[in-house]
């Protein structure tokens, strides 16, 4: 029988994977995707809880999260393009202008 905890564990695993991507990748695009993963993990737990509590507020919340994710992707990718145009790289470890 599938219960809330299963979904929560899936979302936890997704979250962990997203963080792994955040920590272990140097390519900005992939890091972005990892962030999307994080957002989706949270969404999943939101919706699981909304199902569990029979309250659709959670779905609304994840709706907003999706909206935010869309905005974030638009701006972030624009930034990536700008960075690539100016510095010719998307590797995060090569963006070290502030390092003295």
Residues 63-92 that bind another protein (CB under 8 A): 63-64, 66-75, 77-82, 84-85, 89-92
Our measurement of the distance from residue 7's CA atom to the centroid of its chain's CA atoms, rounded to an integer in Å, reads 18
By CB under 8 A, residue 26 contacts another protein: yes
Record the tokens describing residue 87, joined without a space.
Answer: 């510095």
Closest separation between CB of residue 52 and another protein, Å?
6
Which residues contact residue 63 at a Cβ distance below 8 angstroms, ignoring those fewer than 6 apart?
none
By CB under 8 A, residue 95 contacts another protein: yes
By CB under 8 A, residue 42 contacts another protein: no
What is the distance between the alpha carbons of residues 51 and 29, in angstroms, rounded to a whole number?
Answer: 33
């Amino acid at each position: 029988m599938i219960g809330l905890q299963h979904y929560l564990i899936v979302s936890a695993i997704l979250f962990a994977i997203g963080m792994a991507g955040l920590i272990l990748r140097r390519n900005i695009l992939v890091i972005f995707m990892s962030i999307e993963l994080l957002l989706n993990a949270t969404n999943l737990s939101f919706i699981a809880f909304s199902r569990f509590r029979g309250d659709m507020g959670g779905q609304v919340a994840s709706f907003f999260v999706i909206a935010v994710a869309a905005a974030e992707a638009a701006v972030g990718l624009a930034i990536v393009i700008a960075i690539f145009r100016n510095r010719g790289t998307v590797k995060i470890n090569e963006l070290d202008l502030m390092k003295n």
